[in-house]
Structure formats: structure tokens, C-alpha cells
Structure 1
Amino acid sequence: MKEAQIELRLWRQFATLAEELHFGRAAVRLHMTQPPLTQAIAQLERLLDVRLFDRTKRSVQLTATGQALLPEVLDLLARAQALPEHARAAAAGELGRLRLAFVSTVGFAQLPQWLRGFRESYPNVRVELTEATGDVQLQAFARGEIDAGFMLHATGFAPAGLARQLIAQEPLVIALAEQHPLATAPVLRLDAVLAEPLVIFPRRIVPSLYDAIFALYHAAGRSPQVAQEAIQMQTIVNLVSAGLGVAWVPESVRQFQRPGVVYRAVHRVKRAPALPGCETSLVWREEGRSPSLERFIGFVREQAGGRSDTV
């Protein structure tokens, strides 16, 4: 049997009568006369096919069914009353959901602090976090599964087709095992580094950065000796600690204190090719931006130092 659609007005009349237990007083509160209220309660009982009130000439009392229903009705009315304010808050980006993806490197530094600050400023925005590499994020954008993402890329090579806010620029440093012969040098010579086996991420993960690293080797007349590939930076560093090779990593990875691994800057000599750097950007699709996403973009822009280089 198809359930009847019961108007909010009937629920409000039921709740008022349940509180007053007097048709006359309830009618006054509802700004109506008593006969229409009596008819409305009878209509509600017919729609529900239950008896809500026991009536005599001298008293009105809730039935057991009415008593069980009253808390739910009061909750319904309270939520209905809050809807206009919720709508205004949602339109202002102060209420809603934000689906955010991030690469592991941003999790070492900025992300925890920023999320804490954003949640303190906008406690009614539910942030759903997903750790994902750049290629996975692009797929998620295409399927409409995320609203924004923190991506790593080579300097000046942000993913095409997405708006972005640059949040960090940093050099690459070399991660190497603590017992490696080069580990004792405070700064490494480029030619020495290029001769070492390389642990690196697959090209599909960050194509621009992968190509920049390989271009460095080729410009120096070298061919990279890839010893092992791994997806996550933590895994790459762990493989370095096992002595499989050295790895070019963003400087922020220094904060990942893996025992048995040290990080060193690389010294570029004259006429040597330029060392690649990397950037982290907050990226999003321009179409269909939610108010909550607008708030988050503004928040991140402030935290990143008010940069105006959104593209």
C-alpha cells in the first residue's frame, strides 16, 4: 500500500496538542480555531490508521502510540526549522562535504596542520580524505569522485585541464643508505650521484617529475640505472635503506625519519645540467565547484602565503 504524504503542518498540530493536552489552548497557539484543529488531528489519525489521543469531555491524553511518536515528531520539526539556516550555511560553504585526495609528501608537512585549522574554522564541513598518487587522482576527477587534490609535479608542469593553487616549491635531494660511502659527505657531487643505481616511482605516477629526473641524466650523458620502482615515497625510502640504490625525493621527505637513511643536497658544478625541482599544488575542476570547496581553496591560499598564482 502506498504511504500517504503527511504535511508538516499536521505534525506541528499534533505536537502542539500533545504538549497542551487541550484543544482550545493548542488552537490558540496555532492561531486557528478549535474545530479545524479537531478535524486535522482526526485526519492525521486516519492517514496513519492509528489512534494518537484518548479524548473525553474533560480531558485529552496521548495514547501509548502517540507517546512513542512524539519524540520523533519533535525531532522532525526541529530539523525542519533548522533547514533555512542550514541552506544559508551550505551556500556560504560553512556546511557540506569536501572530498580531498593527497599525495603522501604533502602529508609530511602542511596537510595535518591545515586540516586541523580548516576543521576548527568550518566544523560543519565534513572532510573525506583519500591518499592517492597523481594518476589515481586524475582518474578520480574524471569519475567525479573527488572535489580537489594535492598533487606533486615538476616545476611548472601542473596537470593540464585543472585549475590549481601553487602551495609549495622545493628542491629534490638524494636519499641514500646510512652505510653508503657517499653518506658521509654533507653535499654530494652530481656526477657521483648519477653513477648510482636509482630507486624511483613509475612514470605514470608523476610523469613530469619522472621525465625531469631522466632528462637530468641524459643531459649529463648518463643513462639511469633503475634498480627498483615503487609507488609511495615511504616505500622508496625503505628500499633505499635496504641498499637497493639512491633516490631523488622532495626535500620535505626529510621529515620521514626512516632509520638507516640520510638525505643530502646535491652540488651542481659549472656547465652541469640544472637540477630539477618539484612543486605541490592544490588542483580542482573549475566546473561545479561547491561552496565548501571555495572555502577550502581560500583557506589554503591564505595558508600558502596569499599567493595569487592560481591558474
Structure 2
Amino acid sequence: MTDTPNLQRGEWRQWRQFAVLAEELHFGRAAARLHMTQPALTQAIAALEASLGVRLFDRNRRRVALSVAGQALLPEVNELLRRAQTLPALARAAAHGESGRLRVAFVSTVGYGLLPPWVRRFRERWQRVALELVEATSDQQLEGLLRGEIDAGFLLHAPGSAPAGLARLSLTSEPLVLALPEAHPLASRARLSLRAVLDEPLVLFPRRILPELHDAVLQLYRGAGRTPQVAQEAIQMQTIVNLVSAGLGLAWVLHSVRQFQRPGVVYRPLAMPAGQGVPLCETSLVWREGEANPALQRFIEAHRAQ
């Protein structure tokens, strides 16, 4: 297979001259199309042949024909010129965010309901943007943003405690609910009281994942004069729910996690004492301040519109 010609074997202008002459097979007509004199075209073709070390045309006073080497090169040159013609459009599309690459991280809970329709609509609208999705916890996303490994992230945080130094778009705010084993005595109740669950063992996410939310859960117990019994820690919400199903304890999870229907697990809201509220968790799209990726701006605009 013939390698595609490149600039090291001749300039773009020379390849176009070769392609036009190959179409016309007449120096005079080819020179007219190229807006140059016939002697100049003759010299240019001769210089190209010299740089390649082969004859591209067999010519005499009566006829011009492609040589075997010229015939082999012509399809590759035509493809090279076709691709060159697309470069300005590709550059404009990238500059306007209509193409390019976008690396977006997301916490698992966003994947339950919010992420699929958002991604689908964005892909339908901006088909030339290569959207790369990676699942990561909030702390991993912050590190990835700082290192430039991702362009944006869907992460969780307690209301009023969004990560500093990042631009963000708030998407949802939802309360925590309790996940408990289906066979648990409290599972028959439609709503649970805080007093009823204070002494139950917990499956809890580590503090490094969501510091403020972790502290808000612990403060509920401490405010009631209890120290929570953390039986097991787990990072992913799916894992937490699976451990609840195994009977390791109850778990505080996001309201949206109820869509994860794990056999043996039920979800119940909490009835709080007067003056107290259930901890809330906010989901935001975050990115670096001053991020110049035009595709990211399209992504942000799409979510603002929704």
C-alpha cells in the first residue's frame, strides 16, 4: 500500500499542480487552471520529480501521460488534497465547540437518572464532539481537575460547601434517605424517626469522599446524644446498598439512589424533629475557572438550558 504523501516529499502547492496536470494531461490547460505560466508549471513538475527521484509523467511534443509512478501516487494525492480542504472547516468547528474532545467525570449517583438523558441530548446535538465519560468519586474528580486530566465533573457536595477555586453550575439538591434491609423490623414503617435509628449500625461513606455531608450525618447523631456505630465504610453508593442488603447495617443515601432497586433493600424517608432538617446533598457540574475548551462551553450551555 502506498504511503500517503506528506509535506516532506513536496509542498501542498506542488501536489495540487501534479493533480491538476494529471487531470488535464496538457501543460497549457493545467497552467491556465492554476493561474501560472506554462514554463513555471513545467519547472515545478520537474522539481517535484527531482525531489522524489522518479518521473511522474511520460511526455513528448505530442502527448503527456501519467507514468507508472504517477498513476500509483494520484489516488493518494487526491485524498491528501481532499483532506487539506477540510482543515479550515475542522479548525472553525473546534474553535466554536462544534467538534473536539471533552473529558467528563461523574459520580455514580448521577448515572441513575440525570446523566443518561443529558448525555444523549448532547451527543445528538454535537455529534462531532468526542465525549469521554469516566466514573469517579468527588475527591478523585477534584484531583483530576487540578491535574488537567478531566475538563469537567458531576460531583456531590453539601449545600453551601462547593469546592473553592472552581466554576460550577448547580443542578439538583436532594435529601438523604435511609436504606435498610427488607427483613429489618423498621422496614414495615412508611417513615422512620431519628430516635428509631440512632442505635442501628451504619454503612457509611468515608469522610474524604464528602467531608461536609459526612459531618452533617454524624452531627445528627451527636445532636441526639449518640455516637454513630459505623459497621462498614464503602465508597460507591451501589456498594453501600449491596452491603445493606447483606445485613451489615442501615445507610444514608441520596434520594435518587432509590432508583437502584437492589433485592432485599428498601428506602425510607426520615421524619425529623421540629426545627431539624434532613441533610441535603447538592449535585453540581464543576470545571476550572477560565477553561478555554470551546466544547466544554457548549456542554455547560446545554446544561444551563436544561
TM-score range for the pair, normalised by the shorter chain length: over 0.9
* Aligned residue number for residue 299 of structure 1: 302
Q: CA deviation at 1:183?
A: 1.0
Amino acid at match of 2:273: V
Contact 2:97–2:297 (CA under 8 A) maintained in structure 1: yes
* Aligned residue number for residue 288 of structure 1: 291
One of 33, 36, 40 as aligned partner of 2:44: 40
Amino acid at match of 1:210: H
Q: Tell me whether 1:154 sits opposite 2:163 in the alignment.
A: no
| Structure 1 residue ranges (4+ consecutive) displaced by more than 4 angstroms after TM superposition | none
Amino acid at match of 1:125: V
**Which ranges in structure 2 are unaligned for 5 or more consecutive residues?**
1-6
Q: CA deviation at 1:4?
A: 4.2
Q: Tell me whether 1:233 sits opposite 2:237 in the alignment.
A: yes
One of 25, 31, 35 as aligned partner of 2:35: 31
Q: Tell me whether 1:145 sits opposite 2:140 in the alignment.
A: no
TM-score with structure 2 length normalisation?
0.94
Q: CA deviation at 1:63?
A: 2.6
TM-score with structure 1 length normalisation?
0.92
Report the Cα distance in structure 2 between the residues aligned to 1:78 and 1:102, rounded to whole angstroms: 39
* Aligned residue number for residue 224 of structure 1: 228
Contact 2:9–2:52 (CA under 8 A) maintained in structure 1: no
Q: CA deviation at 1:45?
A: 1.4
Q: Tell me whether 1:276 sits opposite 2:279 in the alignment.
A: yes
Report the Cα distance in structure 2 between the residues aligned to 1:206 and 1:70, rounded to whole angstroms: 61
Over 3 Å counting, the alpha-carbon distance change for 1:207 and 1:70 in structure 2 is: farther
**Which ranges in structure 1 are unaligned for 5 or more consecutive residues?**
304-311
Contact 1:4–1:47 (CA under 8 A) maintained in structure 2: no
* Aligned residue number for residue 175 of structure 1: 179
Amino acid at match of 1:291: P
Per-residue CA shift, 1:228-250, capped at 9, x if unaligned? 11111111111111010111111
Amino acid at match of 1:292: A
Over 3 Å counting, the alpha-carbon distance change for 1:65 and 1:218 in structure 2 is: farther
Q: Tell me whether 1:49 sits opposite 2:53 in the alignment.
A: yes
Per-residue CA shift, 1:15-51, capped at 9, x if unaligned? 1112222222211211122111111111111222232
RMSD (Å) for aligned C-alpha atoms: 1.5
The sequence identity of aligned pairs, in percent, is 67
Contact 1:155–1:278 (CA under 8 A) maintained in structure 2: yes
* Aligned residue number for residue 256 of structure 2: 252
Contact 1:89–1:95 (CA under 8 A) maintained in structure 2: yes
* Aligned residue number for residue 92 of structure 2: 88
Amino acid at match of 2:192: L
Amino acid at match of 1:208: E
Per-residue CA shift, 1:151-174, capped at 9, x if unaligned? 011122111111100001111111
Task: Tell me the secondary structure at the aligned position of residue 170 of structure 1.
Answer: strand
* Aligned residue number for residue 76 of structure 2: 72
Per-residue CA shift, 1:265-294, capped at 9, x if unaligned? 1111235x4320100000000123311111
* Aligned residue number for residue 308 of structure 1: none
Contact 1:178–1:262 (CA under 8 A) maintained in structure 2: yes
